[in-house]
């Protein structure tokens, strides 16, 4: 038999090695990769739409397509997009109550809570809305404290139909306190709870640090408080639309009861408890 001077195919092993597919690796944040063509080496800082973004130690960034082409620790890998984490269900509501499973809408109970001021009502909804829907208590808008006696008379509170009211600037000796005293001395007093906070406006119940100011300014008597506050802080104040826009910005920064003055938190929680004690 003739002798094979060259033996087996010397390229066979190399071809087999090339056929082995590199491992798949997720483009996780901070994973360090290298581009063998340009020599660029950096950590993953983003991945979207089939593109991974690397940042080197000099804060320079470059983008590369996912798939084959980059090296991990000197070895080729097939880069793929990271799996999106499943959304984590909140364990507590904005008011601090433990969040339960989502429930079907409830029929409102006979009791009601009235909140003086549109901004006050929006703040209560944002922080305590989940709690109020859970217990089935509806919140009504009270345009002004002067309307309170007529609303109480029309509502006709009773032991089975309680009425809670949240009032601005509830300070001894004020018009607000005198109206509250009159209502509480009236025939429906035992079935009514009126609470409030000492601030001129509910804006002040938002902690200053939440919106990045050292404190709420003092506005001289006789001036509209919102307009004077916006003027003092350099915020837009030329029209009602300006102050409405400022309030939207303030409200957007409130995420939970921790962002609010404790006096307001206590006042609202007392009302919620009162409407449940039937």
Task: Write down the pLDDT at residue 38.
Answer: 86
Domain identity same for 260 and 140: yes
d(CA 187, CA 201): 30
Render pLDDT for 1-59 as a digit per residue (tens, 0 to 9): 555 555 555 555 555 545 578 899 999 888 999 998 888 999 999 888 788 999 988 88
Output the domain CATH number for residue 119: 3.40.50.2300
Domain identity same for 146 and 269: yes
Answer with the one of 62, 80, 98 that is the final residue of a domain: 80
Is 201 within the bounds of a domain? yes
Domain extent, residue 63, equals 15-80
Answer with the one of 80, 103, 133 that is the final residue of a domain: 80
Q: CB neighbours of 23 closer than 8 A, spacing ≥ 6? A: 77, 78
Asked if 78 contacts 25 with a C-beta cutoff of 8 angstroms, the reply is: yes
Is 266 within the bounds of a domain? yes
Is 242 within the bounds of a domain? no
d(CA 30, CA 21): 24
Task: Write down the pLDDT at residue 263.
Answer: 92
Number of domains in the chain: 2
Task: Write down the pLDDT at residue 194.
Answer: 95
Task: Write down the pLDDT at residue 167.
Answer: 92
Is 104 within the bounds of a domain? no
pTM score: 0.62
Domain identity same for 73 and 125: no
Domain identity same for 55 and 168: no
* Nearest one of 155, 123, 147 to 267, comparing CA atoms: 123
Task: Write down the pLDDT at residue 98.
Answer: 59
Exposure string of 139-157, with b = 16+ CB inside 10 Å and e = fewer, is beebeebeebeebbeebeb
Render pLDDT for 138-163 as a digit per residue (tens, 0 to 9): 889 898 889 999 999 999 999 999 99
- pLDDT grade, residue 94 (50/70/90)? low
Question: Is the per-residue pLDDT at 213 higher than 90?
Answer: yes
Domain identity same for 270 and 193: yes
């Amino acid at each position: 038999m003739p002798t094979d001077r060259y033996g087996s195919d010397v390229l066979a092993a190399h071809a087999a090695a090339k056929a082995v597919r590199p491992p798949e690796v997720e483009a996780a944040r901070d994973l360090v990769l290298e581009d063998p063509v340009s020599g660029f080496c950096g950590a993953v800082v983003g991945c979207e739409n089939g593109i991974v973004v690397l940042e080197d130690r000099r804060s320079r960034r470059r983008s590369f397509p996912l798939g084959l082409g980059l090296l991990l620790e000197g070895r080729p890998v097939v880069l793929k997009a990271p799996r999106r984490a499943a959304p984590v269900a909140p364990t507590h509501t904005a008011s601090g109550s433990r969040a339960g499973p989502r429930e079907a809408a409830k029929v409102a109970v006979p009791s009601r809570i009235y909140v003086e001021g549109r901004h006050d009502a929006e703040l209560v909804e944002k922080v305590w809305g989940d709690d109020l829907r859970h217990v089935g208590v509806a919140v009504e808008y009270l345009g002004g404290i002067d309307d309170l006696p007529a609303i109480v008379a029309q509502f006709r509170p009773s032991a089975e139909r309680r009425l809670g009211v949240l009032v601005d600037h509830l300070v001894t000796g004020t018009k607000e306190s005198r109206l509250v005293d009159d209502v509480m001395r009236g025939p429906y007093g035992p079935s009514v709870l009126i609470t409030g906070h000492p601030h001129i406006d509910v804006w002040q119940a938002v902690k200053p640090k939440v919106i990045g100011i050292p404190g709420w300014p003092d506005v001289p008597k006789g001036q509209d408080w919102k307009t004077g506050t916006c003027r003092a802080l350099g915020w837009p104040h030329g029209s009602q639309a300006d102050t409405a826009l400022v309030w939207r910005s303030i409200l957007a920064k409130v995420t939970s009861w921790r962002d609010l003055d404790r006096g307001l938190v206590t006042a609202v929680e007392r009302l919620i408890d009162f409407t449940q004690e039937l």
